[in-house]
């Protein structure tokens, strides 16, 4: 085969007789082009000449038989890539650059751009920016309301119910404190009566001349201690029920009220911003701001209406639950106190059975002798 002129060649890569390349860069180049050679044709058996890409013919590969070792003749294979062949190589991920110096180099393959990945740091920065802007608007609204310069949205009926609820909570907390004090004092008195009854019973056994007198007092104090324990159980049940009503049910409603008030402040803050923008000029710069402010105002208005509806529903259910609970507990407290101080032990025990109150017997929590062993 006729050899192409060196002037027309862009690069010529010779190989040695044992199949090793003379240059590592050329080896890398031949390895990347291996995919374009026919099956069964090795780089060690070829000599590749790269011509210009202006030819109209497809690339031609010629290969001869590998000679025996020691042979002076070295078969050559010439590949002349055309523009079509070059496009195939590019499609296989081989992007080549042949510099003027005649040495082939490998360039990075085609880059496929994936969907843009959101940066977590930018998302956090955006959240902080929105939070700061919202906090600034709400703080400005609160200050303007306290200074009497800003307007606020008021639901007169709902605000009156909230004020009554807060006032009632304070009064119920006072009743709860007094009932806890009564329970503590009654517990101390019952404990003293029990000890006094034991002392009378001991003296009744040791003082024969006053046996009956000490015995009567011992029985009286023990009976008072027993009735005191019954009354103490009723009072503690009353305290537990009122404590649940005040510190759980009412507190949960007040938490919803706080969320409603926060929504009201945000609503008024964005309403004020929208009003200020509407009072200003309308041009190409202000119209997008007005539209954005309108959207934010509408979103906070929906939130405010939802929270107001939630508060109204909770206040209604709370009133019904409060009347039912306090009615039962006040009846219990009255009947127990009246039966105790009138000395009616049967009525006192019947009151506890009516409200399904179980008393803990004295020493029930203490382990027995077998359990201790």
Tens of pLDDT, residue by residue over 206-258, are 888 888 888 889 998 998 999 999 999 999 999 999 999 999 999 999 999 99
3 state DSSP class of 12: strand
The CA dihedral of 337, 340, 342, 347, to the nearest 10 degrees, is: 100
pLDDT in tens, 132-186: 887 888 888 888 878 878 788 888 999 999 999 999 999 999 999 999 999 999 9
- Top-confidence residue, 85 or 277: 277
pLDDT of residue 27: 52
pTM summary value: 0.59
Name the percent of the chain lying above pLDDT 70: 64
Q: Which range, of 72-81, 171-180, 222-231, 278-287, averages the lowest pLDDT?
A: 72-81
Under 8 Å between Cβ of 352 and 233: yes
Instruction: Collapse the DSSP code of 315 into the 3-class scheme (helix H, G, I; strand E, B; otherwise coil) and give the result.
Output: helix
> 207 CB contacts (<8 Å, ≥6 apart)?
214
**φ, ψ dihedrals at 179, nearest 5°:** -65, -40
pLDDT attached to residue 199:
92
Determine whether 44 is exposed, middle or buried from the number of CB atoms within 10 Å of its CB (0-12, 13-18, 19+).
middle
pLDDT tens column, 306-352 = 999 999 999 999 999 899 989 999 999 999 999 998 888 888 888 88
**pLDDT value at position 287?**
86
Query: Which has the higher per-residue pLDDT, 186 or 57?
Result: 186
Tokens, residue 313: 């529903």
Mean pLDDT, the chain, whole residue set: 74
Give the pLDDT of residue 146: 83
Q: What is the pLDDT of residue 136?
A: 83
């Amino acid at each position: 085969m006729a050899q192409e002129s060196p002037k027309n060649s862009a690069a010529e890569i010779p190989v040695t007789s044992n199949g090793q390349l003379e240059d590592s860069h050329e080896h890398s180049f031949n390895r990347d082009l291996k995919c374009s050679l026919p099956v069964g044709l090795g780089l060690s058996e070829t000599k590749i000449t790269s011509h210009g890409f202006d030819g109209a013919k497809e690339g031609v590969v010629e290969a001869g038989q590998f000679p025996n070792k020691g042979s002076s003749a070295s078969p050559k294979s010439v590949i002349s890539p055309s523009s079509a062949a070059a496009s195939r190589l590019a499609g296989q991920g081989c992007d080549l650059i042949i510099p003027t110096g005649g040495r082939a180099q490998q360039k990075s393959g085609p880059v496929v751009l994936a969907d843009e990945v959101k940066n977590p740091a930018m998302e956090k920065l955006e959240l902080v920016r929105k939070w700061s802007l919202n906090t600034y608007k709400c703080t400005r609204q609160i200050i303007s309301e306290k200074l009497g310069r800003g307007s606020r949205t008021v639901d007169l009926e709902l605000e009156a119910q909230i004020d009554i609820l807060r006032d009632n909570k304070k009064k119920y907390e006072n009743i709860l404190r007094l009932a806890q004090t009564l329970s503590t004092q009654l517990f101390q008195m019952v404990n003293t009566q029990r000890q006094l009854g034991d002392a009378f019973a001991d003296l009744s056994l040791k003082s024969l001349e006053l046996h009956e007198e000490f015995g009567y007092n011992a029985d009286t104090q023990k009976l008072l201690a027993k009735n005191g324990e019954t009354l103490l159980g009723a009072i503690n049940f009353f305290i537990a029920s009122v404590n649940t009503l005040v510190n759980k049910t009412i507190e949960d409603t007040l938490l919803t009220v706080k969320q409603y008030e926060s929504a009201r402040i945000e609503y008024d803050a964005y309403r004020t911003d929208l009003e200020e923008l509407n009072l200003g000029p309308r041009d190409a710069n202000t119209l997008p701001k007005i539209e954005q402010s309108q959207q934010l105002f509408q979103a906070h208005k929906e939130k405010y209406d939802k929270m107001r509806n939630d508060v109204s529903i909770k206040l209604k259910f709370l009133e019904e639950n409060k009347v039912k609970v306090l009615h039962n507990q006040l009846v219990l407290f009255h009947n127990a106190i009246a039966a105790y101080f009138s000395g009616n032990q049967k009525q006192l025990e019947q009151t506890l059975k009516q409200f399904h109150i179980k008393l803990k017997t004295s020493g029930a929590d203490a382990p027995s002798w077998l359990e201790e062993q």
